[in-house]
Structures are given as structure tokens and as C-alpha cells.
Structure 1
Amino acid sequence: MDTPNDLMREEIRLKVSENHNWSKLCPDLLRSILESLSSIDFYRAKTVCLDWYSIWKTCVKPLCLWRIIYVKDSLMLFKPGEDKIYKGTNVGLSNDSYYMASSGNWLLMVDSHLGFYIFNMLTSKRIDLPSMESSIRGGNVRFERNHEHGFIWGHFVEPSRKADVSKAAIIRGRTVVLWIDERTGDFLVAWIFNYRYLFSYKKGDDSWWNWNNHWNMENLNFIFWDLACRYNKLYLYTTNGHIKVIDFSGNDPIEVIEKNPYWEHPFRYLTKQEESILHSRIAIQKSGDVLIILSIVSISSTEIPLFYIFKMNLASKIWERVESIGDDEMLIFGHGVTIRAPVQDVGDGIKSGSIYFVKEDLWTIDFHAVSNCGVFDLATSKIKWSKENSFNNKYVTTRWFVPGFS
């Protein structure tokens, strides 16, 4: 059966002479062909050969944030700029799987058996991760799957407790990260469940690793708020404001202590009289600096939702609120890393200094919401809601992602 990549190559082949050397097409002709392709095929085209990749890099194709949309568990991909919908099954994603995180062209998905897999949007390559039902290293915890169809997928079982694993807890929590090196194929997956369980899997491991017993969490005064990953380093943001850093570059993960400037300088924010914090997230800039992003609501008659960003001054070791994240960086709330922004505003709010969010990231009682997602401009503290469409209703789940860019 032909893959979408095979069909794309055949489509391009029909546009040129069969006797023509595909890798030596006239650059202007090839550039014109590439820029005329749909977005998914455009990103796949760079994998054809080195000559195509060199021309692909010169193409003018605006950066565009996509949305993964679920309507009654039916998975679709929506590109706002083209107002085009790709059904998940058309690109190789099954309906019985849910988006968790992304890194470049790769999506981390999970199904109702708590089976994780990584899927490449360009090549349709799929990498299945070990089953959570198999042995989990690092502690006396195991996953028992619920063999009856329902909202409860299973249970994490320990000698003294049992925790339900439900679809709502897995999908809405979104405390999960994926990092992958496109060049080497190395990858790392880590996720938090119920703020207490922390699991990780690195390429080459034979099972998932449970970190709870590593720190003897029963005797520690913290649980996990959020996590982020960049270049084999996992950053853990705890409820007492500390940030732990774990280095996965070696054979065994090692906690970074001496070179971690954040651990002894926890983040603290005292809310004002009319403020309340809904979510607290962590993100890593391309410089390696850590950002703390707060989703805040002003408890007043207007109930204005806001995002605040904080960054530690490495000289003074003091966390400071910042009004900018750089001239060429933007954020997806909960994504874990900043994203390269276009040089100029390309419309739809896609520009530096923007935070892309979904409705659940804001205060739940927001009467100003006209869509399931939007963009927050740090410079003006204003929200631009995404264009309303037939998907914008309370039965729809929306997630942002950027194909083709790490």
C-alpha cells in the first residue's frame, strides 16, 4: 500500500519529464513546484534528496501553527492558514489515539491501552514504545489495564495504594514532553501523572523508568508541577518552586547539581489581592534559560485572563518578570520549549512575543471566549481569539503544534 510520501513523489514525477533527472531539476522550476504543494507534502519533499533539500530551504513558505482537533474522539488536523482539514487516518494516525506532545516533525501519541508511540508527520514512520503493562524499572509500581471499555483506562498499583488512570487525567493533564534529535534519531519521553508519578523512556531502554523511588518522594516536601526537555536534559518544576535538572546524555541519567543555578533559588510569586493562578508552566529558551509562565486571572468584574513570564537573573539569582522572550521566539503554552518565530508578522497573530493557548489554559469562567484557542500578545497583554468555525464548541478538544520545526 502506498504511503502518503510515495503518493507525493508520484504527483511531482508527473509534473516533469520521465527522462529528467529528478535531483537536477532547474532550481526555479523545483522551487515553484515545492511552493505549490500542500503543507504536509511540502515538508515531506525535503526528504527526497540533498539537492531537493537545498532548494527546499530557499522556498518561501510562511510558518504556520496547526491544530489537532478531536470531535467526539475523531482526530483531525486543521491548518488555519489554508482553512484545510486533514483527517488523522489520512496521514497515518488512528482515531483511537490522542496527541500528547510534539518535537519537530514528530508527534507523541497515546491510546486507550496507555500505549505510547511516536509518529513522524513527514515520513509516516511510527516508533512504538514499550507497554506500560510490562515491568517498570525503579520501584514497586505496575500498570493494570482495564479490559472493559470505559473512561477508566486502568490503574497504577503500588503495595499501599491504587490510582485510577482515566482518559480525562491523561489528555487534559498534558504534563508530558518529547524531545528528539532529527539527525541521530535519539529521543526522550517523560511524563507526569497525578503530580506524583514521573516516568521516562529514552531510546535504547528496555522499559519505562519510574523515578519516584529514586528520590524517596514520601520523605520529600514536593510534587511535580511541570516538566520540559531540551538537548537530552530534563527540567522538572516542583510545587515548592524548585527546578531539578536530569542529564540523559550518558548511559545512565544523572542529576545535575553543581551546574544547576535554579535548584537553590526557587521561584516564588505572591499574587496580588485580585489575582489567582490557574496554571504554572516551564519552558526552555533556545539560549538554555528557563522561563516560568503563569496563567493568571484578575478576580474582578471583568475577569481578565493574563499570562506572566518570569526569568531568573543569573547574576543576582532573582526571578524577574519579563515583557519579552526575544526577537525571534514565541511559545505554545505547555509545549516546554520556545519556538522560532518568523522575522515579520505573517498574520493570524504568528509573530515573536506571542503565546498560543487553548481554552483550558485560561480561567475556566471566561465569557469573552469566542473560540477554543487563541493568541496572547505579550507586548499589549491582549488576546486574539482564533477564527470561529464549526469546530468551536464545548465538545471539541484542540491542541496547537508546529510541523517541520523544532
Structure 2
Amino acid sequence: MDTPNDLMREEERRNVSENHDWSKLYPDLLRSILESLNSIDFHRAKTVCSDWYSIWKTCVKRPLCPWRIIYGKDSLMLFNPGEDKIYKGTNVGLSNDSYFMAGSGNWLLMVDSHLDFYIFNLLTYKIIDLPSMESSIRGGNVRFERNREHGSSEWGHFVDPCRKDYVGKDIIICRRSAVLWIDERTGDYVVAWIFNNHYLFSYKKGDDSWWNWNDHLNMESLSLSVLDLAYRNSKLYLYTTKGHIKIVDFSGNNPIEVIEKNPYWEHPFRYFTKEGENICKTRMAILKSGEVLIILSVLKLRTKRKLLFYIFKMNLESNIWERVESIGDDEMLIFGHGVTIRAPVQDVGDGIKSGSIYFARDDFQLRPIYYPAFSNCGVFDLATSIIKWLKEDSFNNRFVETQWFVPLFD
């Protein structure tokens, strides 16, 4: 039982805590405290107040490197290879029936079994809800009809005057193709996603509803479908059937298609496979310069079954797509994320460096005979064409899926 003296001391501590303005700590003291925190708490600290953020910007920055999201049976963990540390219990706020669609820094675009989208911050647990797909959709006569039956694998249907498309987990997850961009400083964001290679939907912060782009982009009249998409510098890039690339400019109040200044539209990408090659997936990525890359994950079936990535960039002078061996001296790439990212300034191990592609096993759609039993992901070195498979011993094989992301600590 607490004595009267114990209670008095506790009351004194409470009064000191309530009366002290923690935002007014001496800068050197606060900087020392911030720099002693682990990476996740270090990032969270900048959101406390403007004074803390000002001091946070002067701290010694942590090495920038890709982290891994480890999906366990009942939990989500983050692994930071720079610290060789696992952070557990980081799925606070995620619903049990949510599925990953796209990522941007610390943020994930998620969708649940009601086809409700939201954006989730892995480090601060902040959630941004997006409009319901059942609400009015601008641009074209299409609507989403939700299935009200509880527990059904059928989420609903997209309906327009000419067709009715089933919506469910098997289509949303297996054919996942979406993009998320978010500016942590301003809070601006853009979301776009493809359904069944037919519908293209987008939402920009401040819009009153989702946009449907099918009629605006004249896709059906051109017999085109959208296969992949990427977003950078306020532009949405769409990789379509027949190798064409469309561009939509989101910098204004209303998005508009870029036509005259799109160098890629009349020069589609073509690649003819060689004997013994199997193209697993084709993805698009945008360099810092705004140039478009086409990346192929390739399984070579002859001799020793080798896994490779081919990268192509269009020569803007000759308008010819050329295979390249580099993505820049200070850039690296997470396959499927749509943009290159700044490479770490120092070697943090596990092959994490510039000129590398980070991938998960599903990016090759591999059967077990093609990958080591101990790994779910790897790093491809463009200079040597060598894959470093990453061991997962520290997770005790409890994970079911691995995914890469790069925290935004800038």
C-alpha cells in the first residue's frame, strides 16, 4: 500500500509533468534525446510539434535503406536491415480483412472486403479514409454494387451500360495494380488503381469523389487495356496493351491527359522473347528525371534456370527503346513500386546499394523449385546480374509474405 509520502511524491511528479512545456527543451538536449531513439521512434518524434520537427531536421540522419514488411499469421512486423532489428506489433489500426495495394514511403494503400480504401502510416498508425466506391463516381456511367451477404467471397460488382464485372479478393489481390503518392510535409496525396485491366479509378486529395478514366482516355475505342501504372512529378503514367504509354497531368485542379508532350505514345515498347526466356511480369518505373523505365522479370529456362531483370529506356533522340545496365549512380528500385528511390550513401549489407532491384518471390511467380527454401525475397545487382537471397532465420519461418518499403526520414 502506498504511504502518504509516496502519494505526495507522485502528486509532485504529476504537477511537474503537467506544468512543463516539453516543446521548449534546450535544442542540444532535445537533439541528443532524438538521436538516441530507435528508427521508428525517431521518425514519430518529428510529429510531436513544430519545435520538435525543427530540431529533428538538424539531427544526424539515419542511413536510407529499404526495410521489409513481414506478414505473420497473426501480426505484422517491420525489419530494418540497417539496425538488424525487428519491430513487432506495427499493425495497430489495420483491419483483419485488409489487403495491401500500393506503398509510398511509410504509407500503405489498403482495401478491405467492402472495397473501402484507406491509407495507413506504418510508423505513426495514422489512417486516412478515402471515399466509398458506392458513392457517385465521376466520368462515365459506372457504379459499384456491394454484396450485402456477410462472409461471401463476392464483394460486389462494377456495373456500366455494357458489362457487369465481379469484384472479389481473387481479382483484387491476384491482379493488384495500384499507385499511391503522398507528400508527408503538405499532406497532399494521389491514389489510382486498375480493376481487371478495364477500369481505371483515381482520387486526389480535395476531390469530392473517385474519377473513372475509361471514357476520358478513349481506351475502349482504341482497344486498349491498362496493364500497369506509375506516378511521379504530378504525372500518372499508364502502360497499356500494345506497349503504349499514356500520361495524365495531376498538377491542376482537374487532371488532364498529356498529348503533345508525350514522347512515348507513338513509340510503343516492344520486346520479343528469345528461346528459353519466360517473361514473368512487366512493370513501369519513373526516374527522378521523369524518364520512363520498363522492367521485365525474366526466368531463363535453359541450363541452370536463372532469374534476371531486364531494364529498357527510350532514347529520346532516336525514339528507340534500348536495354540499359544502370538506373543511375544514386538510384535503386523496388520492383513494382513505380519510381526509383535514392540509394543509401553507405553500404548497409545484404546487397543494399545503388544499382539494385529489390523484389519479392511473387515478382517472378515462382514455384518452389526456383528459389531457396529459406527466403521470400532478394536483391538483384544490375552490374553483375547476381541475386542475393536474404535469409529469414530470425523470423523463425512464421511469416507468410514479405514486402519491401523505404521509410521517409527526410
Residue of 367, 370, 379 corresponding to 2:370: 367
Verify: 1:312 aligned to 2:299, yes or no. no
- Deviates most, 65-74 or 395-404: 65-74
Q: Which residue of 2 aligns with 1:172?
A: 174
Q: Deviations over 1:173-194 (max 9, x none)?
A: 3310011223332211000111
The alignment partner of 1:114 has SS state of coil
Conserved in 2, the CA contact under 8 Å of 1:226 and 1:238? Answer: yes
Mapped partners of 1:307, 1:200: distance in 2: 29
Verify: 1:279 aligned to 2:320, yes or no. no
RMSD over aligned Cα atoms: 2.6
Q: Which residue of 1 aligns with 2:33?
A: 33
Q: Which amino acid aligns with 1:150?
A: S
Shift of 1:391: 5.4
Q: Which amino acid aligns with 2:47?
A: T
Q: 1:31 to 1:405 in 2, by over 3 A?
A: closer
Q: 1:21 to 1:160 in 2, by over 3 A?
A: closer
Q: Which residue of 2 aligns with 1:195?
A: 197
- Deviates most, 274-283 or 145-154: 145-154
Shift of 1:239: 1.6
Q: Which residue of 1 aligns with 2:13?
A: none
Mapped partners of 1:386, 1:237: distance in 2: 31
Mapped partners of 1:33, 1:347: distance in 2: 27
Mapped partners of 1:22, 1:395: distance in 2: 40
Q: Which amino acid aligns with 1:87?
A: G
Conserved in 2, the CA contact under 8 Å of 1:74 and 1:95? Answer: no
Q: Which residue of 1 aligns with 2:115?
A: 114
The alignment partner of 2:254 has SS state of coil
- Same amino acid, percent of matched pairs: 70
Q: Which amino acid aligns with 1:94?
A: S
TM-score (ref. length: structure 2): 0.87
Shift of 1:260: 1.1
Mapped partners of 1:350, 1:173: distance in 2: 28
Mapped partners of 1:191, 1:405: distance in 2: 26
Shift of 1:276: 1.6
Shift of 1:362: 1.2
Conserved in 2, the CA contact under 8 Å of 1:174 and 1:334? Answer: no
Q: Which residue of 1 aligns with 2:389?
A: 385
Shift of 1:69: 3.0
The structure that has the greater radius of gyration is: 2
- Structure 1: gaps of 5 or more residues: 1-15
Q: Which residue of 2 aligns with 1:8?
A: none
The alignment partner of 1:245 has SS state of strand
Q: Which residue of 2 aligns with 1:45?
A: 45
Verify: 1:264 aligned to 2:272, yes or no. no
- Deviates most, 204-213 or 277-286: 204-213
Q: Which amino acid aligns with 1:386?
A: L
The alignment partner of 2:239 has SS state of strand
Conserved in 2, the CA contact under 8 Å of 1:372 and 1:392? Answer: no
Q: 1:56 to 1:272 in 2, by over 3 A?
A: same
Mapped partners of 1:359, 1:337: distance in 2: 20
Conserved in 2, the CA contact under 8 Å of 1:44 and 1:122? Answer: yes
The alignment partner of 1:163 has SS state of strand
Q: Which residue of 1 aligns with 2:380?
A: 376
The alignment partner of 1:240 has SS state of helix
Q: 1:172 to 1:41 in 2, by over 3 A?
A: farther
Shift of 1:336: 0.7
Residue of 391, 394, 406 corresponding to 1:402: 406
Q: Deviations over 1:266-293 (max 9, x none)?
A: 1111211111211110111111111111
Mapped partners of 1:392, 1:226: distance in 2: 35
Q: 1:89 to 1:218 in 2, by over 3 A?
A: closer
Shift of 1:263: 1.0
Mapped partners of 1:21, 1:143: distance in 2: 49
Conserved in 2, the CA contact under 8 Å of 1:24 and 1:51? Answer: no
Q: 1:179 to 1:82 in 2, by over 3 A?
A: same
Q: Which residue of 2 aligns with 1:294?
A: 296
Q: Which amino acid aligns with 2:316?
A: L
- Structure 2: gaps of 5 or more residues: 1-16
Verify: 1:125 aligned to 2:126, yes or no. yes
Q: Deviations over 1:7-39 (max 9, x none)?
A: xxxxxxxxx9x8686445353x44442233222
